[in-house]
Chain A
Amino acid sequence: MSPIVILGAGHAAYSLAREIRRHDKNAGITLITRDSGDSYYKPNLSKALAMGKTPAQLVLKTRPEQETALNISVQPEQRVTAINPATQSLSLATGENIEYAALVFATGAESRRLALAGNASDAVLHVNDLDEYRRFVERSQAAKKVLIMGAGLVGCEFANDLHSQGITSLLVDPAAYPLATLLPNALGEALEKGLSQIGCQQFYSNHVTELNTHKYGYQAKLANGEVVTADLVLSAAGLSVDTTLAETGGIECGRGIRVNSQLATNQPNIYALGDCAEINGQLRPFIAPILPSVKALAQSLLGNPSRIDFGPMPVTVKTPCCPTVACPPNAKVEGEWQINGEAGDLIARHFSNGQLTGFACTGKATAEAKTLQAELA
């Protein structure tokens, strides 16, 4: 009997393997991954400096430890070149063919590569996995100033973490304030103030147009004509899903691998979850959606098809300078924000025709996040 094959070895892949094993001691489970297969928790990458943890210390379980703990096989450093639904098999770059009873894409997303003029665009660093983070840590040993492109969750958390080590960050974002996709402006401005209080230089409604090497570091030209220098440049400008592999198997893709409420693609026995999946037309990034996805998909894979009910999925932004929890309304929902609180401790409630459809809170007001989430459910 062929195994359940999971592509990837991140949080989604290992959580799914664990959940299947919880319900079925014998099902064959094989993970195939580009990286080493060692497991780590990606949200820790953007607070590891303050935690005093080296990249090696961020590994929670090595690949062999996971294989033993979960009684699964994990094939590291592999590249999958094609999916063949007709024969329910996939081909590896080594030429090997692997058959699957069910195939699950848990391949995540890539940090978006920004097109930049100048001679230094290939020196831009990304931090969307442990290997990229290891390179970033090596390069930031001597850095005093780091330019971060993107003031979303990753950009803001990294800026704060760098400041915990006395490294100044410059945060550039086309939006008018930080976390603009998650927060109404009053709370975005509270975070902006928190970041500036720890010395973060911020450039909003702006973006880098050109990047060149400059003495020992880099010089960046911004859209409004300003010029800034930094020892290192980090891109945290959002994620995009590489769907090339899925498309080799005739799997329907859009911004991600398209799946329905049971995480099933248009091809039989092929599923997707986590950052790579576009679930009923919606991308569901970050950690929270993975747990309900894993619970539902494990049931479906074990012969008991079940749908996911996501419910409210608040995002916790770990910026000690201004802690933030955000549960924005669905993009298509019309309505308005109602904001109260003062200074950096604000609560925002989003109402559409009298009904609570989203919330966000900053500073001490994040203590209310659990009750707001219950109100929303």
Chain B
Amino acid sequence: MNSQVPRLAFRSVSVEFGGLRALSDVSFDVSSGEIVGLIGPNGAGKTTAFNVACGFVAPTSGTVEFPDRGVTQPKPHDLASIGVARTLQGVGLFDHLTILENVMAGGQIRPGGGAFRGLLGLPSAGRSERQLTADALAALERLDVAEFAAKLPGSIPYGIAKKVSVARALMGSPTLLLLDEPASGLDERELDEFATLITSLKSDMGVLLVEHNMDFVMPLVDRLVVLNFGEVIASGTSSEVRSHPEVLAAYLGVEQ
């Protein structure tokens, strides 16, 4: 058992959409230094779980907590300030902003960005903005995609765009990273790169990811949480889950 305070905790979370139960009594947590995979067949409630975690959907009962910050059910725009970053399905970039600006957007909550300072063009705002530009460039360089800084998202390869969305998420120095289908649409080589990247991140933060690609998830994660019809049917290490009868049933339709 991990003795430290978890970064994210689902406590008996249930969500209903007009009588339809999307999540029922879901509990799990994510701590710093571990990668947790949230898996399950289509319609199992993975995306709903992510949306509840980010405050886009309110739970019908139960709570989502960020215990180390003492925050319960924050609003989506408060996530960045409590050290939570999330990537979106696809790439979720801003279409009419350059790649550099897209990454700079990850530092939106840094001090010195107020509207009045902006209008007046105060030197402090300028300094903060120049630092942000430099940091964003450094982030792009770290991921080896700095050459695309001036391009628009529509004109770069999909794999690069995915990296950019991770670079943006890292700009806020998060302590919890939520990755929504990070592997979708990537080729073999890119998948390997991504796995290495995500593994390299976990020393500083907790990572929760939703993924379909089992070949990608299984070796990567420390723990798995398996959802089916909105319920947690299994959780544990990859090998524990792999042999779990209910998981096999859910994935393969095998009758026990």
Bound together: no
